[in-house]
Amino acid sequence: MTSEADFIIRAGWLFSAEPDAVAQENTAIAVKDRRIAAVGTDAEIESTWHACEVIELPNHLLLPGLINAHTHSPMTLLRGVGNDMPLHEWLFELIFPLEAKWVSSEFVADGARLALAEMIRAGITCFSDQYYFPEIIADIAHETGMRAQIAVPIIEQANAWVQSSEDGLRRTTELHDHWRGDDFITIAHAPHAPYTVEVATFEKLASISEEIQSQIHIHLHETSQEVEDYQRAHGCTPIRKLHDIGLISPRLQAVHMTALDDADLETIAENNVGVVHCPQSNALLASGPSPLMRLCESGVTVGLGTDGAVSNNSLDVLQEMRAAKLLASKAGDEHSTLSTADFVRLGTIDSACVIGRDDHIGSLETGKWADMIAIDMSACAAQPIYDVLASVLLTASASRVTHVWVGGTPLLQDGSLTTLDEQETLARAKTWGTKISAGLRA
């Protein structure tokens, strides 16, 4: 006797990430009530499940939906500006002034839609976003059918969204209450960085975050210069200061982390802090490489983020996986502990763990949400296939993603977006590009 599923996918390969980190051939997955009902071989699923809709993907690899653990989605509208500038100059002399001039609720809405379209096409089903007007980004993500951690920005300087860090703290609590219990949207506090947030604000945040048990998402130890400047001003590293305040905990998500001494590494490892590695952004802004091997060998959970399109130029976690692999290879020691599967896990189950959602997403396991993607493995660049995971890691990009499901709902079907008007989104982006380009030339 068979059970009834909403639909079944039969695929050439499947990588579940958990509990097994091995790609299986000739597999199938049954989906019922938006969740994964069963995963197994073709024969196992055929003998136990029936569905009126069976999706045949014999040349595809099924993966858990990719998770972009750090981005600034509306910054797609600033893609490509300031590519030859170091971080501090880029941020304070270019980006902050541009944001002061252009950021508005309309800018955020149009930029977020452009980013979501790009991310869905890249197989991203969940993202962590940190930007102004977060309530708009949350609404658009929810309407589009994507999952998101909305990391509400907290920064001392006034901006188009709030007048102070106090406003940011208050609005985070309001959004946290509004979205409490939602399956798609979670809310986190996002103090921008130790160099833009005062110690007194971090102390208030520690109390509020403890009370509501919120996640905390922060740019931390982004460059060696940042750490050196902070030590001169405060007599300790930013990690040590946050530890003294009480913010170093499993709820902290530390982004970038390129400059770490042994004591700071021990502190984050002992306190189960999650780290978001942004290899391409770090390289573009000359921030220095994050010590991925040292982090992993110390037991730290590491996820992947693209950062914003303005400091990367693409929102493609498949490319971040490859960059992480190649940068580790440059160090000459990645083979000691990290396998091909480990790098794929960075963008799936490990990123889910970092943002506190691994109980529900990040792997293709029975009972989890049916968040999954299909990658076409028939391309010339993938042939011949001896190791399907190695082929994906070293050859795949967004253009090979053909299907995306979130909770069993298709967001990308045979290469076409189903929940976003792509032509209108592109038209709005081009209009912004014309206006901002004229402003840059003025």
Classified as helix, coil or strand, 65 is coil
The DSSP element (H or E) to which 275 belongs, if any, is strand 274-277
CA–CA distance, 385 with 25 (Å, rounded to integer): 12
Q: Is the pLDDT of residue 39 over 50?
A: yes
DSSP readout, 380-422?
Answer: GGG-S-S-HHHHHHHH--GGGEEEEEETTEEEEETTEESSS-H
Q: Is the pLDDT of residue 197 over 70?
A: yes
Query: What pLDDT, on a 0 to 100 scale, did the predictor assign at position 329?
Result: 66
Instruction: Provide the domain count of the chain.
Output: 2
CA–CA distance, 188 with 69 (Å, rounded to integer): 12
Classified as helix, coil or strand, 71 is strand
Per cent of the chain over pLDDT 90 is 86
Q: How confident is the model at residue 88 (pLDDT cuts 50, 70, 90)?
A: confident
CA–CA distance, 79 with 237 (Å, rounded to integer): 32
Check whether residue 195 and residue 334 sit in a common domain: yes
Q: Is 281 among the domain residues?
A: yes
Q: Which domain holds residue 334?
A: 66-354
Q: Is the pLDDT of residue 307 over 90?
A: yes
Q: Is 286 among the domain residues?
A: yes
Query: What pLDDT, on a 0 to 100 scale, did the predictor assign at position 345?
Result: 98
Mean pLDDT, to the nearest integer, of 174-181?
96
Q: Is 384 among the domain residues?
A: yes
Check whether residue 347 and residue 394 sit in a common domain: no
CA dihedral 75, 80, 82, 83 (to 10 degrees): 120
Q: Is the pLDDT of residue 334 over 50?
A: no
Structure pTM?
0.96
Check whether residue 261 and residue 292 sit in a common domain: yes
Taking each helix axis from N to C terminus, what angle separates 238-245 and 224-234, rounded to the nearest 10 degrees? Answer: 60
CA–CA distance, 432 with 77 (Å, rounded to integer): 7
The DSSP element (H or E) to which 146 belongs, if any, is none
Q: How confident is the model at residue 331 (pLDDT cuts 50, 70, 90)?
A: low
CA dihedral 375, 337, 323, 114 (to 10 degrees): 50
Q: Is the pLDDT of residue 305 over 60?
A: yes
- For residue 316, CA distances in Å to 284, 346, 407 come to 15, 13, 21
Per cent of the chain over pLDDT 70 is 98
- Give the chain's mean pLDDT: 94
Contact in structure between 224 and 259 (CB atoms under 8 Å): yes
* Prior bond of 410 cis (ω within 30°): no
Query: What pLDDT, on a 0 to 100 scale, did the predictor assign at position 96?
Result: 87
Query: What pLDDT, on a 0 to 100 scale, did the predictor assign at position 442?
Result: 64
Check whether residue 266 and residue 198 sit in a common domain: yes
Q: What is the pLDDT of residues 362-388, one digit of tens each?
A: 999 999 999 999 999 999 999 999 999
Q: Is the pLDDT of residue 266 over 70?
A: yes
Q: Which token pair is 128?
A: 């962590």
Q: Which token pair is 340?
A: 């091909």
Q: Of the ranges 147-156, 199-208, 324-333, 351-360, which one carries the lowest mean pLDDT score?
A: 324-333
Check whether residue 139 and residue 14 sit in a common domain: no
HSE-up of residue 357 (Cα within 13 Å, Cβ side): 31
Q: Is the pLDDT of residue 18 over 70?
A: yes
Q: Is the pLDDT of residue 430 over 50?
A: yes
- Residue 69's nearest CA partner among 224, 237, 291, 217 is 217
Query: What pLDDT, on a 0 to 100 scale, did the predictor assign at position 327?
Result: 87
Q: Which token pair is 78?
A: 């600033």
Q: Give the torsion sign (CA, 131, 137, 141, 144).
A: negative
Check whether residue 43 and residue 109 sit in a common domain: no
Q: Is 381 among the domain residues?
A: yes
The CATH number covering residue 275 comes to 3.20.20.140
Q: How confident is the model at residue 330 (pLDDT cuts 50, 70, 90)?
A: low
Q: Is 94 among the domain residues?
A: yes
The CATH number covering residue 26 comes to 2.30.40.10
Q: Is 180 among the domain residues?
A: yes
Check whether residue 284 and residue 320 sit in a common domain: yes
Mean pLDDT, to the nearest integer, of 176-185?
97
CA–CA distance, 129 with 99 (Å, rounded to integer): 16
CA–CA distance, 424 with 431 (Å, rounded to integer): 11
CA–CA distance, 201 with 191 (Å, rounded to integer): 9
Q: Which token pair is 21?
A: 């980190």
CA–CA distance, 260 with 254 (Å, rounded to integer): 12
HSE-up of residue 64 (Cα within 13 Å, Cβ side): 31
In 130-246, at which residue ranges do the beta strands (DSSP E only) sit? 147-154, 185-191, 215-220
Contact in structure between 42 and 54 (CB atoms under 8 Å): no
Final residue of a domain: which of 354, 386, 416? 354
Check whether residue 125 and residue 168 sit in a common domain: yes
- Residue 153's nearest CA partner among 139, 165, 140, 141 is 165
Q: Is the pLDDT of residue 32 over 50?
A: yes
Check whether residue 199 and residue 290 sit in a common domain: yes
Q: Of the ranges 82-91, 178-187, 242-251, 295-304, which one carries the lowest mean pLDDT score?
A: 82-91
